[in-house]
Chains A and B, each alone.
Chain A
Amino acid sequence: MKIWSTEHVFSYPWETVIKAAMRKYPNPMNPSVVGVDVLDRNLDPEGRLHSHRLLSTEWGLPGIVRAIMGTSHTRTYVKEHSIVDPEEKTMELCSTNITLTNLVSVDERLVYRPHPDNPDVTVLTQEAIITVKGVSLSSYLEGMMALRMSANARKSAGRTPRTVEHRQTTSSGNIGN
């Protein structure tokens, strides 16, 4: 089991950041996500918006990893549940893979909140728990996956702000999700 977490600060107010986060894909900084679908969406009695989404990803695993895992299928699916609370100004996303579950489990949690000291700034806390099952090199593989995810998270420094800047320069977005 490998756990990593990271924190990132965006110099934009919370509403701006989450509008961009909702439209995060496609994004050249993370080309692994090749499809996004909304499975369900509803408001709870407290007025929070729940969304359940299905993400299709192509991981481009190194050949040796595919050989160890015994699969050449690189298309994996991830289920994501997000909650947007416009009163508390929090957006929380939890995701987990729903394929290759007999081999690996990747649980990720992201929370966007205004910075406690500055409402014009937003803090993203991102954490992941990665567990590789039934493989003797599990620690090594978990470490590799953690490195990959960590690199993607660092790239996300350009991800949401890029979307934010793009949104701010286009008056009517025709950017699909």
Chain B
Amino acid sequence: MNSVGEGCTDLKREYDQCFNRWFAEKFLKGDRSGDPCTEMFKKYQHCVQKAIKEKDIPIDGVEFMGPNKDKP
């Protein structure tokens, strides 16, 4: 799967691999120890935010129905 910024796809895939591993092996098993993907995410984000600005994608200030705050 690609990133919205063509040059960001490699950074994205690296981050996704890290996240998916943490999500499956730590988060879902109740392990709240630190997120090992923070640095990777920062690099990836820097690239994506630049691409969003360049393509003028309107990500800010959008209201939409949020998830229910009340638990069922």
Q: A-side interface residues toward B, CB under 8 Å?
A: 15, 18-19, 22-23, 25-26, 33-39, 41, 43, 47, 49, 54, 56, 77, 79, 81, 83-84, 86, 88, 90, 92, 94-96, 98-99, 101, 107, 109, 129, 173-174, 176-177
**Residues 9-30 of B at the A interface (beta carbon under 8 Å):** 12-13, 15-17, 19-20, 23-24, 27-28, 30
Please state if A79 and B64 are interface contacts (CB–CB under 8 Å): yes
Please state if B4 and A83 are interface contacts (CB–CB under 8 Å): no
Contact of B1 among A35, A77, A90, A129 (CB under 8 A): A35
Q: What are the residues of chain A within 8 A of B1 when measuring CB–CB?
A: 25-26, 33, 35-36, 176-177
Contact of A177 among B8, B16, B66, B67 (CB under 8 A): B16
Closest A residue by C-beta to B9: A176
Closest chain-B Cβ to A137's Cβ sits at a distance in Å of 25
Some 16 contacts from A to B, beta carbons below 8 A apart, are A19-B24, A22-B20, A33-B1, A47-B32, A81-B64, A94-B67, A96-B64, A98-B62, A101-B62, A107-B65, A109-B67, A176-B12, A176-B13, A176-B17, A177-B1, A177-B13
Q: What are the residues of chain A within 8 A of B44 when measuring CB–CB?
A: 38
Give the size of the chain B interface in residues (CB under 8 angstroms).
35
Q: What are the residues of chain B within 8 A of A94 when measuring CB–CB?
A: 64-67
Please state if B59 and A86 are interface contacts (CB–CB under 8 Å): no
Given A37-B5, A86-B30, A173-B20, 15 further pairs, Cβ under 8 A: A36-B1, A39-B59, A54-B4, A54-B48, A54-B59, A77-B4, A81-B64, A88-B71, A94-B66, A95-B64, A98-B59, A98-B62, A99-B58, A176-B12, A176-B16
Q: What are the residues of chain B within 8 A of A18 when measuring CB–CB?
A: 28
CA distance A177 to B52 in the complex (A): 19
Closest chain-B Cβ to A9's Cβ sits at a distance in Å of 18
CA distance A90 to B71 in the complex (A): 10
Please state if B2 and A19 are interface contacts (CB–CB under 8 Å): no
CA distance A67 to B34 in the complex (A): 51
Please state if A38 and B62 are interface contacts (CB–CB under 8 Å): no
Closest chain-A Cβ to B54's Cβ sits at a distance in Å of 14
**Contact A37/B12 with A19-B23, A26-B1, A79-B59 known, Cβ cut-off 8 Å:** yes
CA distance A129 to B16 in the complex (A): 30
